[in-house]
Amino acid sequence: MQVIQEEQRKLAAIESTIVYNYLDWLTILPWGIYSDEKTDVMSAEKILDEDHYGLSSVKERVLGHIAAIRLGKIICLAGPPGVGKTSIARSIARSIARALHRNFFQLYVGGISTASLIKGSPRTGVNAMPGKMVQCLKIAGTSNPVVLIDDIDKLGIGNNGDTLNALLELLDPELNANFMDHYLNVTIDLSKVLFICTTKSTVGIPIPLLNKMEVITILGYLFDEKIHIARDHLEKTARRDCGIKLEQVDVSHAALSSLIENYCREDGVKNLQKQIEKIYRKSALKRVREDASDTTLVKNIRIDNSNLADYVGEPLFVAGKINEKPDVNKIYEQTPAGVAAGLSTTNILYIETNVLEEGRGKGCLDVMTGQLGNVAKESALIAYTFAKRFLLEKEPKNRFFANSKLHLHGLTGVLTNDGRTKATTIEGPSAGCTSLLSLAIKKPVRKDLAMTGAISLTGRIHPIGGVMDKTLAARRSQIKTIIFPVGNRKLFEDLPQNVKKGLDVHYVDEYEQIFELAFNYDH
């Protein structure tokens, strides 16, 4: 009241419009107004199941969060683009809002580069306004809403302050009980607000803020889950948008499977949705043309493998090969000497090594190609250094590395769903090391074997990330035997049974074990 009385005395002054706006904001906020909380976990579970198929572990953690009403913890969904983080977060926020009988608000922070958009700007400035959080409270109408903050990793450092620090002050329960908006210039209690965030990566999020978060990682959907999502959600939406009845267009199971395997190798279903929409749009156009012709009967349309390409074009990926234009690079039926398969989060990457020049004392790793970034080049150099030492121990008389100038190539890179190629990552660098040794001993790597693992200069194998994605990549490429570091055993064993089925998995902690598996080496 003291602030309001002081401002009322200024109404007769020249800045009366500014004062009116300020008082309007000050009085419209829901001071001390809170939604009544009645925890309804069953209602939240129903919303999550209706909106999203699968993701059982994610749902369980969210429902546990609701049941305990763990105020002070921020739910943060992390995962690669396209897995539906925003959609899932919106469903979670809606389910929590209903379960706890709270209002819901979505706060977009992507592209924000000034702290003033979060904390407001001083009233003395031109076009001064409160920050986004104050605007959120005004719209929500309560002091304890559920707020979804999307793409927090897209915040940056601008000329007018560090937005990440402003976000820390907004989200940290130890700080936001006295949140100061620069426009209002009074403290606001945000400690009862329940925040949900999404991010592609937790790298770059301040550690104090990250420690306050309940980070839930979304790895992506399995093949069976994508089938269900396509049938239960994507096709229904596409039919509705195109005005097509269920019986008028039939997409066979084989065609849908081919669409997932050969066109849409992704973690999420964003590209799958686009391809299904393309099928139904072309089907609608075909029916309209037939209806306008002299044909009296418009036939129902069936899409299967024989005519799928007529609707969505030629596949980017085919079992056994990557379809590129104009060339087609086949995956090796049997890798020759100098080639090893590494596990990537999207596909199998082949590391090739060949000799450029031979001569006494000319040994070096001279050329590295395949869109290798700096990290990949460092991995290749580690692989080369270790391979030289390892060969010296195994075959002291073999002078291959001392006398051979070599070229190492990461074959093709990862072909994305839009036909572009991502930079190659030397996986481990266990595959790079195996490729070099294969050429040195003139012996091919065993058939249908792929590997991943970080090698130290002493030959120790360290854990890697992306176990789920790399396992799925191996299945897609019909790899039967895979090698993981011992440190990844628990992560692999926790994968769903249908992901692990039929795979022969070996766990190693020394490169010696990889070498024996790859070459059946005789001591």
Closest CA to 21 of 7, 33, 5: 7
44-to-62, 66, 341, 376 alpha-carbon distances in Å: 9, 8, 44, 44
Instruction: Check: CB of residue 317 under 8 Å from CB of residue 333.
Output: no
* Three-state secondary-structure class, residue 17: helix
Instruction: Check: CB of residue 173 under 8 Å from CB of residue 72.
Output: yes
Catalytic residue list contains 226? no
* Three-state secondary-structure class, residue 79: coil
At residue 174, φ and ψ (nearest 5 deg) are -80, -15
Residues 6+ apart with CB under 8 A from 294: none
Closest CA to 450 of 421, 472, 417: 472
Interior CA angle at 158 toward 154 and 160, to 5°?
A: 135
Catalytic residue list contains 470? yes
> What is the rounded end-to-end Cα distance, in angstroms, of the chain?
87
Answer whether the bond into residue 485 is a cis peptide, omega within 30°: no
Q: What is the largest CA-CA distance in the chain?
A: 97
Q: Which of 35, 283, 470, 477 is catalytic?
A: 470
Q: Which residue do the tokens 């854990």 mark? A: 463
Q: Which of 143, 344, 430, 477 is catalytic?
A: 430
* Three-state secondary-structure class, residue 349: strand
Instruction: Check: CB of residue 55 under 8 Å from CB of residue 218.
Output: yes
Catalytic residue numbers, as ranges: 430, 470
